[in-house]
Structure formats: structure tokens, C-alpha cells
Amino acid sequence: MNRLLLNKIILMLSTLSAVIGISFLFWILATLSYKGITSIHWSTFTNDLVEGGIRNLLVGQFTMALMATAVAVPVGMMAGIYLREYGDGSKLAAIIRNLSDVMMSAPSIVIGVFVYALLVDPFGGYNGWAGSVALAIMMIPIIISTTDNMLALVPTELREAGMALGGSKHKIILQIVVRAAKVGITTGVLLSFARIIGETAPLLFTSANNQFFTMDLSGQFPSLTVSIYNLATYPDPESRELAWAASFILTASVLCINLIGRFSIRNKK
């Protein structure tokens, strides 16, 4: 009797945990949607921050994220390829995998402070390049890990078939193995893109913020997340409203990209 009761209690508590978890998700999304949708006007998208909109912030955040992706994807993929295709099983590969995972979970504010010392302090000012680099540093370990794991899923027979056809190693990797893992890697890229778009701490003292529209990466660069942080502390209703609008749009973008990524993987296999 006691055993069955204990069992029932634990199972109920576990189900309750899941309910609590889901409730928080709905609570957060509900308040965000309510506050966000009521705060969005046409001008939110057509004006820059200086005039009470977020146009320059959206462009700025996406620009830096794209710059980061342009750097992180080739570097990360090449590193992942090395780990799985050339160095697999070696001690070096194991060490590098560990280091990469450490960097992946490193506090983002530390990355920001690091890039400040490297790219802001010596160059005399906050700039968008530094912001992009900070985001890239956060993205690279994720791409490495994704590539590494996705390549591992490719059956060895494919590689052997390539070798049997007489292809050179790098051609086999690029045209057969990577191609086979393409969907998984793309999903990884999408998910990491969604992750860095929502980052604030690495941008605080690298690209800072800019209320005007600009594409000049050598100066302070507009950021959606940094703006939310600033606007939220302003007491006047217009700033608060803008902060909610920006938060809603940011979350909607991030979740959409996430869902697209997950559905593409489910459809493939």
C-alpha cells in the first residue's frame, strides 16, 4: 500500500512540475504578447530610436548577428570537420572538444569584457565590429559542437564509398559527408543564430547603442537588446511601451527561427 502511494505521489509531483513549467511559458508569452501587441504601431517599424521607433535597432541587431554568423560558420564548421574527420579519437581532439564546450557555457559578460580589452580600448571607442566579434565568439563553439555531432551521425559507409571512388579526402568530406549532414548543421546554425540575436551582455560595452540609423560599424552601433535594457528603466510610459514592443518582436523572431529549425529537422528524418 505504502509503495503504491509513494509511487502515486511522486508521479503526481512530476506531472505537477511539468504543469508548472508549461504555465510559466504561457504566462511569459501571454504577458509579452499582450504588452507587446498593444505597444506596436506603424511608427515602431518606420522610426528609429531617436523618434520613438525600433527600425534602426532591428537592422543593427540583425546586421551584427549576420556578421557574426559569417565568421562563426566557416570557422566553426572547419573546426568541427577537423574534430570528426581528421582528429577523431586523438587526445588533441578530446581536449579541443572540452575547451570548446567550456567556451560555450562561459559567462557572456566575460566575453564582452574580453572583447572590450581587445577591440574597444585600443581603438578608442565603442564600435559595431567589436559587437559582431563578441557574438561570433559565442557562436563558434555551438557551431563546432553541432558540426562535430552531425558529422558523427553520417554512416562510415558513405566515407568508404567515397574513398572507393578514389576521391581526395577533402573532396569526400565536403561533397559527401558534409552534404549528408547538411540539414542537421543548418539547423544548428539557425538555432545558434536565434541564440545570439537575443544576447545583451556581450554588446553592452562593445557596440553599446545608437539612437540614429547607421550602417557604420566603426562607431556605436544600434542594438535591440541593449535598448530594451535601457528603455525598461525609464519611467515614462512611451519608453516602457517601446521596450515591450521591442521585447515582443525580439521574442517572436527568436521563437520563430527556433520552430523553423526544429520542424526542418523533423521533416527530414
Partner 1 sequence: MTFKNLVTAALITSVALTAVHADELKGRGASFPGPVYKAWTAAYFKATGKKVNYTPTGSGDGIKSIKKRMVDFAGSDKPLKPEKLRKAKLYMFPSVVGSIVLAYNLDGVKDGDLKLSRTAIDAIFSGKAVFWDDAIITKENVGLTLPHAPITTCVRADKSGTTFNFTYFLNKINPDVKVSKKPTWKAAKVVAGKSNSGVSANIQQIKNSIGYIEYSYKIKLGLPAAQVENKEGHFINPTVPSFQDAAKYATWTADNDFYAVIGDPAGATSYPIVAATFLLLPIEKSEMNKKVTAFMEWAYINGDKAAAELGYVPLPASTKEAIRAYWEAKKIK
Partner 2 sequence: MGSKLFRNFSFFSATLSFFLLVGVFAILFSYAQEALHEFGFNFLWTEQWEPDEDDEGGIFGGYIPILGTLLSTIIAMLIATPLAMGIAIFLTEIASVNVAKPVSIAIELLAAIPSIIYGMWGLFYFAPIVQFVFGGNGVGLLTAGMVLAIMIIPFMAAITRDSMNTTPAVLKESAYAMGATKFEVIKDVVMPYSKGGIIGSIILALGRALGETMAVAFLIGSVMHTIGNMTDPTTSIPVLLANNFAEAEDLEMSSMYFLALILFVVSFAIISTAKFYFLGRNPSMKKVK
CB of 217 to partner 1, least distance (A): 5
Q: How many CA atoms lie within 13 A of 256 on its CB side?
A: 7
Asked if 78 interacts with partner 1 (CB under 8 A), we say no
Considering only 41, 46, 51, 86, the residue that binds partner 2 (CB under 8 A) is 86
Strand ranges (E), the chain: none
Q: Return the number of the residue (88 or 215) whose C-beta is nearest partner 2.
A: 88
CB distance 176 to 162 below 8 Å: yes
Angle among Cα 161, 165, 166 to the nearest 5 degrees reads 120
CB of 120 to partner 1, least distance (A): 8
CB distance 104 to 142 below 8 Å: yes
Site string for partner 1, 86-125 (x = CB under 8 A): ----------------------------------xx--xx
Binders of partner 2 among residues 129 to 148 (CB under 8 A) are: 137, 140-141, 144-145
Asked if 17 interacts with partner 1 (CB under 8 A), we say no
Q: What is the dihedral of CA 167, 171, 172, 176, to 10 degrees?
A: -120
Which H, E and C letters describe 57-121, residue by residue? HHHHHHHHHHHHHHHHHHHHHHHHHHHHHHCCCCHHHHHHHHHHHHHHCCCHHHHHHHHHHHHHC
Asked if 241 interacts with partner 2 (CB under 8 A), we say no
Binders of partner 1 among residues 214 to 233 (CB under 8 A) are: 214-220, 233
Footprint of partner 1 (CB under 8 A): 50, 66-67, 69-70, 73-74, 77, 120-121, 124-126, 174, 208-212, 214-220, 233-236, 239
